[in-house]
Amino acid sequence: MEMSCVGVCTTRHTTHPGFRLGRADLHLRRNMWIIEYFNAAAQRDMGSVGRMGETGMDRTSSDDSRRLPASAAATALRAGGGTPPSGWRAALAGLSPSYFGLVMATGIVSLGSGMMGLPLVSRLLFLLNVVQYAVLCGLYALRAIHHPRRFFGDMVDHLRGPGYFTTVAGTGILASQFIVQTDNIRVGFVLWAVAVVLWLGLTYTIFTAFTVKPDKPTLDRGISGAWLLAVVATQSLAVSSALLAARIGQPFRLELNLMALSMWLWGGMLYIWMMSLIFYRYAFFRFSPDDLAPPYWINMGAMAISTLAGSLLILNAPAAPYLVSLLPFLKGFTVFYWATGTWWIPMLLLLGIWRYVFQRFPFQYDPLYWGAVFPLGMYAACTWQMDHAMGFGFLSVLPRGFLYIALFAWVLTFAGMIRQVVRIMRASGRAGPA
């Protein structure tokens, strides 16, 4: 009754004209009162174990459900009551929107291995990527069905929303794998079409929501390297469109090359917009080790995939007259993109040393680390392709070295993911069936 009195008194006080709280504040205070009540009830029960016979019935059956720590009670309240999820249910509820970065990283390492004479590695990673893509599609569908508020709420969150662009990039890269590694144009075209639909839906949903939502974070709390996944998604369509255009005849070859060119230009435009804000955040806001999440490697990865798309457009120019007239522009900006991506590598390495060595930030598996593996593989692939398209002939050592680094990073990250999956399965086994 004491807690009830406090709640009523405080509620009445908040209705005073000089002290009005918003509805969100009232909900927050109400939830905190309930959490405190759970803790108080648990403490009272622990002190009254010896008096359970006073009423002639066992009170533990009715009170055990209220013995929750504050964090667990808060989770239950957010979920609408009941027992908080555990094991695989909790993992599904909290599934990162960026998890298709796994498909992106595996796909580009597979493609790079094929370019540089490792056919067995390329084939094995391709088959694995098909399985990973199917599993992730199923998990995302389950999350949308069982946790729709979190699934769609993440989509309009400034930090988590851009992670959904990995679905576009992952689909586009898998389409490129089918086109290049199996010559299966039909499946490649279907995946390309799916990627286009996803790109349209996510681009205009996410950025429209960011524009019109009433409550927005400050720049230092609302932007990260993950925003550049929108650039990667756009350029993945440029890459897959250029690959399709090179392998089909008229009447669609010219249209697909124009699609590739348009996406390539849009991606460059988005990078300039977003990178200006990200660099401003770098230089003029406090930067903690926790802020330097792995997606900041997309600073380089976005330029790498732009280089790959530009190189493919250069190679496609003989089949599209308007590309021939744009060749000086295409070559200049392709090298510009590659040089920009190359500039980022030492910078990101130094920031990584600062984070893990000097600041001693814990190094443990996070799905966001796929956002660091992908740029390494993409830099290897784009450098190899640019060297071929521009006719340099002296950059062959660089892509091969980065491919081996990407393979090593992929193995480490994949091992960390497997360990996490095993832990989740063990936790689900201890929790027992629902």
- The per-residue DSSP string of 110-148 comes to HHHHHHTT-HHHHHHHHHHHHHHHHHHHHHHHHHHHH-H
| Backbone CA torsion sign across 358, 361, 362, 366 | negative
DSSP 313-342: HHHHGGG-HHHHHTHHHHHHHHHHHHHHHH
Quote the tokens at residue 136: 């992730």
- Mean pLDDT value across residues 209-228: 93
Kindly indicate the confidence band of residue 433, based on its pLDDT and cuts at 50, 70 and 90: low
CB 14 within 8 A of CB 28: no
pLDDT in tens, 85-123: 556 888 899 999 999 999 999 999 999 999 999 999 999
Average model confidence (pLDDT) across the chain: 83
Nearest-angstrom CA–CA distance, 185 and 165 = 24
pLDDT of 353: 94
Q: Is residue 300 over pLDDT 80? A: yes
pLDDT in tens, 58-71: 333 333 333 334 33
Ramachandran bin of 333, using left for φ above 0, alpha for ψ from -120 to 50, beta for the remaining angles: alpha
Q: Domain boundaries in the chain? A: 1-49, 92-431
Kindly indicate the confidence band of residue 426, based on its pLDDT and cuts at 50, 70 and 90: confident
What global pTM score does this model have?
0.79
92-431 is a CATH 1.50.10.150 domain: yes
Which is more confident, 253 or 53?
253
pLDDT in tens, 307-322: 999 999 999 999 899 9
Residues listed for the chain: 434
pLDDT of 49: 36
Q: Provide φ and ψ at 250, rounded to 5°.
A: -70, 155
Kindly indicate the confidence band of residue 333, based on its pLDDT and cuts at 50, 70 and 90: very high
Q: Is residue 17 over pLDDT 90? A: no
pLDDT of 233: 98
Lowest mean pLDDT among 28-42, 102-116, 241-255, 367-381: 28-42
